[in-house]
Amino acid sequence: MPEEITIRPDPNKVLIDELSPISDKIVVMSSGAAVNGNAGWGGYALSKCAVNMMVNIYSKELVDTKIYALAPGVIDTDMVAKVISANKDRFSSIS
């Protein structure tokens, strides 16, 4: 049976509510995984889709604050190293 995943955007909303009165720009970390589906990445990809939609909605609600979702590309982390090593044929240019 698939694992159940709960996505909680409310902590992000709390931060945005705290930051918007003191900054006219907020950058939120997204990922290419939000638009590029990969087997085994369901929870991570869904959470980044939720982040992107949160930024979309809150940027319309907080019109005096520019809110950006930044997807920085491949970052050298343990998670990325594990994915690349398990899928060397798919990520040959960065392995």
Write out the catalytic residue numbers. Answer: 44
Q: Which residues of 41-80 are buried (b: 16+ CB within 10 A; e: fewer)?
A: eeebbebbbebbebbeebbeebeebebebeeeeeeeeeee
If you search the block for the tokens 């990445």, which residue do you land on?
41
Find the DSSP H helices in the chain: 10-19, 42-61, 78-86
